[in-house]
Chain A
Amino acid sequence: MNAENNRFPRTPYILLGLGAALFLFGSWWGLFLAPREQYMGDVQRIMYVHVPTAWNWMLAVIFAFVSAVMFLFTSNYKWDSRLEAGLEVSSLLAFLLCCQGSIWAKPTWGVWWDWDPRLTSVAVLLFAFVGIIALRNFVDDAARRAIWSSVATIIAAVDLPIVYFSVKWWNSLHQQPSSPKTVSSDFYIPLRVNAFAILFLMTGFIMLRARLASRRLANEVSTVPLMEAGETA
């Protein structure tokens, strides 16, 4: 993913348009064409947007983690911009996941929040990333901001599996929520279409957000060594 794509400034917009169209198509399929699920009834249709969001959230977190590691190794500020984009977009997706998850939990288990290990880890990482975004806003020095937020992102991302397993043990008397493996092939198409839809939307968002970040960096820093921030035009 080339975040500061100057040669192709329109790519993120094309991706966003494509993603929006696919999202409409996939959701229409999931809402009206896909058969009603045997046990969950119509509520199961939430999965056609929830599961793709979850997959892409995972990708966004990995993207942020890789950007943080790459920044620490290369000290190239384009990775800092990508990290900023990854943090913000994965927070957006995590927030969406929490909303969808509570809406799913209410009719299924009768409560808004079920302490499901996945949902809880998403929420924990959401808070961690929001904290890192706050840290970025409070640090004025660009070099420190980049290094510190990379370090914090690595620490938070390493925490994710630990949180997942600890919550799983902590709340072990819990049924597994339905996953795509337990649903028949009729349900695959809207799931996959929406997965690509949200992938395109997410990629477009990350590219635009990274562009914004590198612009701000270039505006903010006048010193020469930081000018590899991309976006020289």
Chain B
Amino acid sequence: MRGVVVGGWNYVIAAYSVTTAMLIVYAVSLFVRLTADRGPRTEDKG
């Protein structure tokens, strides 16, 4: 440890926004892929 790190809120905000953004993007991509996959399958059945 070389003394106290002053400030650094920018880094904190960056870390949290990157994490939240990635999690949301992944969730959206999952939903998109799941709904896209459901389409042709129901056609097959019908």
Whole-angstrom CA separation of A31 from B19 in the bound complex: 14
Asked if B16 and A212 sit within 8 Å, CB to CB, the answer is: no
Whole-angstrom CA separation of A53 from B33 in the bound complex: 24
Contact A41 B4, CB 8 Å, known A31-B16, A100-B19: yes
Q: Please, which residues of chain A bring their CB within 8 A of the CB of B15? A: 46, 49-50, 99-100, 103-104
Asked if B26 and A211 sit within 8 Å, CB to CB, the answer is: no
Q: Please, which residues of chain A bring their CB within 8 A of the CB of B19? A: 49, 53, 96, 99-100
Chain B residues with a Cβ closer than 8 Å to the other chain, count: 27
Asked if A106 and B18 sit within 8 Å, CB to CB, the answer is: no
Chain A residues with a Cβ closer than 8 Å to the other chain, count: 35
Whole-angstrom CA separation of A31 from B8 in the bound complex: 12
Q: Please, which residues of chain A bring their CB within 8 A of the CB of B23? A: 23, 96, 201
Closest to B26 in A: A92
**What's the nearest-Cβ distance from chain B to residue A53, in Å?**
7
Which of A147-194 touch B at CB < 8 Å?
175
Q: Please, which residues of chain B bring their CB within 8 A of the CB of A16? A: 27
Most buried by A among B14, B22, B26, B40: B26
Taken residue by residue from 21 to 46, chain B's Cβ proximity to chain A (1 for < 8 Å, 0 otherwise) reads as 01100110010011001101100000
30 pairs from A and B in contact (CB 8 Å cutoff): A31-B16, A38-B4, A39-B1, A40-B4, A41-B6, A41-B7, A42-B5, A42-B9, A42-B12, A43-B11, A46-B11, A46-B15, A46-B16, A49-B19, A92-B26, A96-B22, A103-B11, A103-B15, A106-B11, A107-B5, A108-B5, A205-B27, A208-B30, A209-B30, A212-B34, A212-B37, A215-B37, A216-B37, A219-B37, A219-B40
B residues with a Cβ closer than 8 A to A are: 1, 3-9, 11-12, 14-16, 18-20, 22-23, 26-27, 30, 33-34, 37-38, 40-41
Beyond A46-B11, A103-B11, A108-B5, list 14 extra A-B contacts (CB 8 Å).
A23-B20, A23-B23, A41-B8, A42-B9, A43-B5, A49-B15, A92-B22, A96-B23, A99-B19, A205-B26, A209-B30, A211-B34, A212-B34, A215-B41
